[in-house]
Amino acid sequence: MNSLSSNYTLLCRRLPEERTFGTLVAKAFNIPEPIGELLYSRGIRTLDQAQEYFFPQLAMLPSPNSMKGMAEAVDCIMTVCAQRQPIFIHGDYDVDGISATALLVTFFREIDRTPFYYIPNRLEESYGLSFKSIDRLLAQCPGQGGLLISVDCGISAVQEVEYARQQGLRVVITDHHEPQEKMPLADAILNPKQPGCSFPCSSLSGVGVAFFLLIALRKAMRLSLNLKKYLDFVALGTVADVVPLQGINRILVRAGLEVLSARHRLGVHALWNCCAPDSREVLSEDISYRLAPRINAAGRLGNPLVGVELLLADTAATAQAIADRLELMNQARKQLELSALAALQHDCQEQLQALRHGIILYQADCHAGVLGILASRFVERCRRPVIIFSNDTKNEKSVNLRGSGRSVPGINLFQVVEECASMLEQFGGHAMAVGLTLRKEKLPQFSEAFNEKIKQKIQLLDSKHYLTIDYYLTNTNLLSASFAHALQRMQPFGEGNHEPILFLAQQHLLAARARNGHLMFQLQGAGELLPGIGFNLAAGDLTSCPQPADLIFHLKRSWFRGNERIQIHALAITTPQFNE
């Protein structure tokens, strides 16, 4: 393994205990031994644990009653339903909030209790519950009281919940964001992160919390509904919100992908036809890179209700019309993103050269709808936490900036921002993502404090590209369709259960050529040539270098014109002339 650079960390070192476990798993589940070794490197130590990993079952889900506030929430909802009072659902404008809203609306409609719903416009309103959004909800059915249920928001809305109760509403909060010191005085709060909650998974998505509420309601109401049919909503929001796909989340998403693949939801089927018109199964990466960006586009451009309407569509024609509209919105979002990336790149590079640990970027007219995705793009480029600000355009007289931040593994961005709370007007989020507002004159002070806080959280951040490698292949014998399919037994991939990263030393890249900035090549596999692609790796002389290269890659199933094939997705390629 001398070829492996010190810039990379190898997780599976093929130690005796790893090999022994790999052999046990291979015999028990009829899979290649390296899969068992990969499981060992991910903390799985027994065959029972491997069984649960390979075959997650809905029967393994914990009781919803272990979530603090569940009894109160169920009692409140059942009372309102019995009294035939209005139900108002308040969501959030990302995929998690949109899918959670659609989930509850679908459920209540099915039990003949049609609710009213609203999601704020991120370009004109504040995040989450606000006085304005509550008024707009109540305007749909004024003067009758009722129940307000928040999904994917509300845990920090102290004044807003008080306002809602003054309007005669009962309030049930369902959220998964980090609670702050003071929480709202709601009738019930469901949030596995709140103090005193014994629910065994604190990393549920917003739609995941809402789904457990439905499990409890089904039992309390003695309904015969099969809730599995709703798990497509749960998979969409859980994967899109980048929560760890482990334990309970893994169970929910695995089942949800089965429901998505059945394509019984007209809106999902129509959207799939826009981005991947074939009949194969839906994978978690399809949510991340195809479905979620299109649903998110509506919220980013200021019309999140379009996403809800897609998921609630009851005719194929309506669903296709909305899906086509979302496709156009997504194209517009891409153009906004590309323009802002180009405008901010120079400032980011200067901060990297100045050895800044936390990157703060500001563009006065940057579209508020792309701040979060821009932060993600810059995190990918510079491997540091990034917050991007633009002018708050909700009020022409405002001197506030609104920002969105993303982090890197190991740095809790919410905690960092919370330590700077005295400089902020508003903030919220979780470990990997935050939203915040501050007065413009405080941006320099916040930037310096943020940089120092990040510096304290880490011992070293430099410009090298560190990459974790899961498995070192000593030859190309495993580059086959059978091994690629065996790797898929580890699905769903995502946060907390990443797709295995493989390493091969001294490989000849055949027919290497550049196409639109990407490197196209072929690699000799187990008995056949495999196509390969390295996204954004066409720079340098790799296309003309005849020398062997070290290859870091995913071995993937891909589809071209409806036909499945095995493909190499290169993440990094090093040749002798590029090695340091």
pLDDT tens digits, 459-506: 544 444 457 889 999 889 999 999 999 999 999 999 999 999 999 998
Whole-prediction pTM value?
Answer: 0.90
pLDDT score recorded for residue 462 = 47
pLDDT band (50, 70, 90) for residue 545: low
Nearest to 217 by CA among 56, 59, 67, 60: 67
Q: What is the predicted pLDDT for the residue at 373?
A: 92
CB count, 10 Å around CB of 505? Answer: 17
What token pair was written down for 282?
A: 């839906």
Q: What is the pLDDT of residue 541?
A: 57
241 to each of 163, 203, 385, how far by Cα in Å? 29, 11, 17
Residue 175: CB atoms within 10 A of its CB come to: 31
Q: pLDDT class for 579, splitting at 50, 70, 90?
A: very low
d(CA 9, CA 266): 44
The residue with tokens 């089904």 is 218
More confident residue, 12 or 16: 16
Place of tokens 């917050």: 387
Q: Tell me what pLDDT residue 35 has.
A: 96
C-alpha pair distances (Å), 539 with each of 75, 515, 572, 576: 61, 11, 12, 16
What pairing do the DSSP bridges indicate for beta strands 563-574 and 529-534?
Answer: parallel
- pLDDT digits over 137-158, tens only? 999 998 888 999 999 999 999 9
Strand ordering across the sheet containing 518-524:
471-473, 502-507, 549-560, 563-574, 529-534, 518-524, 510-515
Q: What is the pLDDT of residue 1?
A: 42
Res. 2 pLDDT band, cuts 50 70 90: very low
pLDDT surpassing 90 at residue 49: yes
103: confidence class by pLDDT, cuts 50, 70, 90: very high
Is residue 352 exposed (0-12), middle (13-18) or buried (19+ Cβ within 10 Å)? Answer: middle
pLDDT at site 540: 58
